[in-house]
């Protein structure tokens, strides 16, 4: 039985930026996860986005498959993806839909959109949500920069000038039938800088703080109404010389249908990820060589 975990709370609207940055640092060192409140994304917009997401996932499978994922954008069906290469599972018990960056004019046309006749409010709702999540993400990244003793515009200049920003809509079915042994999302860490997760309140998310220890110990992440769940990705872990954790997480089935929305805020593919000077020393040299994020 997994224990219940209450993550640290970070207030994005706090006027005391230094204190907030210190709270972020502690959360990233201890957990690699934290709650984000007063993030500036309206409850009504989040509610509308969940409604539109549910409307899409209830469409016939043949229609959803006509929007199958290309260039990391579009639909991925149930049981077709396994995030844990060590698992023998056939695939995760979830379906999803990716929408890519709206800022980059060279790639925005790669996005696929459901028919306006079927879902007239779908595209404008998702576009509004992405812009608001991007705004919240950029504010958060300036605080993360401060937490690492960097200028608060460090990431704005190096990683957010053309970010790889993706929204992923996720649907976990309540009834799995013969697939009851599957995870909703198998154990994995995220690739990039940070992920902002919005859930509908249905439980299932678990984290494992010590990813190299066996057996793994999993803890349930409690839902906090109105809060985003933020986690650190692999590239941020490399940047910080493993001071900030890119924590293993998974979603387990609970017998209840579950919806969530994950916003991945990552650097552009040509961004060089090299250990920050504030995160290494003679006694603690860089653990990783510099790497372009697109080569990771």
Cα–Cα distance, 174 to 97 (Å, whole number):
18
Higher-confidence residue of 184 and 289: namely 289
Mean pLDDT of 281-296: 94
pLDDT for the residue numbered 176: 67
Report d(CA 21, CA 97) in Å as an integer.
33
pLDDT at position 83 is: 54
Q: Check if the beta carbon of residue 223 is closer than 8 Å to that of residue 35.
A: no
d(CA 244, CA 147): 11
So what's the pLDDT on residue 118? 97
CA-nearest of 12, 293, 19 to 160 is 293
Residue 30, pLDDT above cutoff 90: yes
C-alpha count within 13 angstroms, C-beta hemisphere, residue 242: 10
Q: Has residue 1 got a pLDDT over 90?
A: no
Task: Tell whether omega for the bond before 215 is within 30 degrees of 0, i.e. cis.
Answer: yes
3-state secondary structure of 247: coil
pLDDT value, residue 26: 98
**Domains assigned to the chain:** 32-292 (2.60.120.330)
pTM given for the model? 0.94
156-201 pLDDT, tens digit per residue, is: 999 998 899 999 999 999 876 555 456 888 999 999 999 999 999 9
H or E element at residue 63: helix 61-65
Query: What stretches of 74-168 show up as alpha helix (H) in DSSP?
Result: 122-147, 154-158
pLDDT at 89 over 80: no
Please tell me the predicted confidence (pLDDT) of residue 160.
Answer: 95
Residue 20, phi then psi, degrees to nearest 5: -65, -40
Task: Assess whether pLDDT exceeds 80 at residue 91.
Answer: no
């Amino acid at each position: 039985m997994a224990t219940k975990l209450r993550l640290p709370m970070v207030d994005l609207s706090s006027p005391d930026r230094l204190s907030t940055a210190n709270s972020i640092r502690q959360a990233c060192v201890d957990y690699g996860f934290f709650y984000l409140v007063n993030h500036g994304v309206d409850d009504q917009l989040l509610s509308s986005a969940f409604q539109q997401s549910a409307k899409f996932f209830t469409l016939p499978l043949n229609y959803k498959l006509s929007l199958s994922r290309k260039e990391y954008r579009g639909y991925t069906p149930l049981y077709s993806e396994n995030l844990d290469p060590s698992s023998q599972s056939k695939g995760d018990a979830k379906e999803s839909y990716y929408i890519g960056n709206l800022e980059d004019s060279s790639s925005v046309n790669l996005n696929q959109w459901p028919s306006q006749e079927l879902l007239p409010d779908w595209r404008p709702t998702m576009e509004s949500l992405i812009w608001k999540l991007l705004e919240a993400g950029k504010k958060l990244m300036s605080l993360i920069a401060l937490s690492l003793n960097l200028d608060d515009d460090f990431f704005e200049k190096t990683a957010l000038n053309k970010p790889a920003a993706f929204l992923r809509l996720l649907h976990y079915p309540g009834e799995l039938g013969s697939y009851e042994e599957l995870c909703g999302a198998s154990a994995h860490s995220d690739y990039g800088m940070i992920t902002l997760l919005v859930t509908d309140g249905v439980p299932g998310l678990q984290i494992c703080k010590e990813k190299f220890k066996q057996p793994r110990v999993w803890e349930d992440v409690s839902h906090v109404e109105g809060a985003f769940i933020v986690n650190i990705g692999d590239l941020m872990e490399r940047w910080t010389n493993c001071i900030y954790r890119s924590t293993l997480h998974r979603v387990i089935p609970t017998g209840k249908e579950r919806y969530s929305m994950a916003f991945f805020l990552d650097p552009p593919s040509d961004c060089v990820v090299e250990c920050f000077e504030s995160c290494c020393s003679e006694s603690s040299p860089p653990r990783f060589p510099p790497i372009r994020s697109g080569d990771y």
